[in-house]
Amino acid sequence: MTDSRIPVAVLGATGNVGQRFIQLLADHPWFRVAELVASERSAGKTFRDATDWRLGARMPEGAADLPVLGYDADLQSPIAFSGLPGEVAGEIEQRLARDGHAVLSNTSTHRMDPDVPLLIPEVNPGHVAAIERQRKNRGWAGFIVTNANCSAIHLTLTLKPLHDAFGLDALFVTTMQAVSGAGYPGVPSLDMIDNVVPFIGSEEEKLETETQKMLGAWSDDCGFQPASFVLSAHCNRVPVRDGHTECVSVRLNRPATPGEVTDAFEAFRGRPQELELPSAPTHPIVVRREHNRPQPALDRDDAGGMASIVGRVRDCPLLGTKFVLLGHNTIRGAAGASVLNAELFKVDGILPL
Ligand code: NAP
């Protein structure tokens, strides 16, 4: 029987994010993994031979025997999901977009470009309109759309209903980020065991600027206008395998009780839920009411890793409201977010098919 699903390429297929793409796409109803790209170290081998598979379930059979291509390969798939390192992503992603591919990237290189959407389908689907300007500006047959930084995606998902219901004025966030967020092999084990590292290069700046871009506005006349609240971030690396935890204090324009804030989290839905996209969680924000949740070891896989899990919603003597959030960094924080973007584009007819 012929497979009518849309062929997709995964760039950086052997890495942490790449492996997550392969896993999430293994049984996808609309997309099938057809092409894999990694560095010269892996090119020419099969995916099975090139990859140290580090996810729990077995390597999907459909990908195992595919050849790994070099970055200069002439790809045929209309969609290229990218988990490339920032140092190499710019040139490769731009070439693919120029040649007519929809590039859905996890890399920071183009996130803050004035014509590149930084997209979360529940939060800012209107920012997709920037694609038209991007193609015109750059003369590209395809386009680049990016995911935000993994901590920014989960922070922004939880802030969106508060921004809409009460308005955001000021925000203070401290992250405790998993080791898998640093790629593989990432932070040396002797730096990580029995320790917290209070610095992740450029992470605080990304969290501050990307959150404001996503919660800001897009218009044809003015382009992207960042949201006007102030945000201060502290980012820490902690000895957790997967799942970023964030402690958030926020001053709302209209003060709200913990009950009102919880109601806003629970009522939140977006276009992926309306459209019932295959990767959309039923609730983009899952509220835990126990006094000691969420915890990464227990809750990161809730809703298949596609939701932000919040708990401990309470009054804050400093800014008015505080809560804790947890998000899976390689699923909704990376590969799963790109797949959801691609599902939205398919339904909206944006893919260059
Ligand atoms: P990683 O585990 O280090 O994987 C990097 C991948 O890129 C590998 O497949 C590697 O292939 C490939 N690669 C390296 N140099 C290349 C080149 N010159 N040409 C083609 N392929 C090349 O990194 P990661 O954690 O998956 O992160 C990938 C990207 O996603 C980064 O930009 C990161 O900032 C972003 N991101 C990561 C997370 C996360 O939680 N990990 C979350 C959000 C965003 P080889 O195996 O052949 O070397």
The rounded average pLDDT for each run of 10 residues, N- to C-terminus, in the chain (353 residues) is: 93 98 98 98 98 95 97 97 96 98 97 98 98 97 98 98 98 98 94 98 98 98 97 98 98 98 98 98 98 98 98 98 98 98 97 88
Position 322 scores a pLDDT of 98
- Ligand 1 pocket test target in 48, 84, 238 with most atoms within 8 Å of CB: 84
Domain 150-328, CATH:
3.30.360.10
Largest Cα–Cα separation, the chain: 63
Position 336 scores a pLDDT of 98
Position 223 scores a pLDDT of 97
- Active site annotation includes 244: yes
Residues contacting residue 203 through CB under 8 Å, at least 6 positions apart? 149, 151, 175, 177, 233, 235
The architecture CATH gives domain 6-149+335-348: 3-Layer(aba) Sandwich (3.40)
Position 53 scores a pLDDT of 97
Same fold flag, 6-149+335-348 and 150-328: no
Position 35 scores a pLDDT of 98
pTM: 0.98
- Active site annotation includes 154: no
Position 1 scores a pLDDT of 73
Position 313 scores a pLDDT of 98
Report the nearest-CA residue for atom 12 of ligand 1: 12
Position 2 scores a pLDDT of 86
CA distances from 173 to 7, 152, 294, 319, 323 (A): 39, 11, 16, 12, 10
Report the nearest-CA residue for atom 28 of ligand 1: 83
Position 48 scores a pLDDT of 98
Residues contacting residue 3 through CB under 8 Å, at least 6 positions apart? 32
CA distances from 48 to 64, 187, 337 (A): 5, 25, 25
- Ligand 1 pocket test target in 36, 106, 107, 150 with most atoms within 8 Å of CB: 106
CA 353–ligand 1 middle distance (angstroms): 26
Q: Of the listed 127, 150, 163, 328, which one is catalytic?
A: 150
Domain residue spans in the chain? 6-149+335-348, 150-328
Residues contacting residue 49 through CB under 8 Å, at least 6 positions apart? none
Strands (E) located in 125-229: 143-146, 168-177, 217-219, 223-225
The residues lining ligand 1, judged by C-beta closer than 6 Å to any ligand atom, are 12-18, 37-39, 41-42, 71, 83-86, 88, 106-107, 150, 180-181, 183-184, 329-330, 333-334
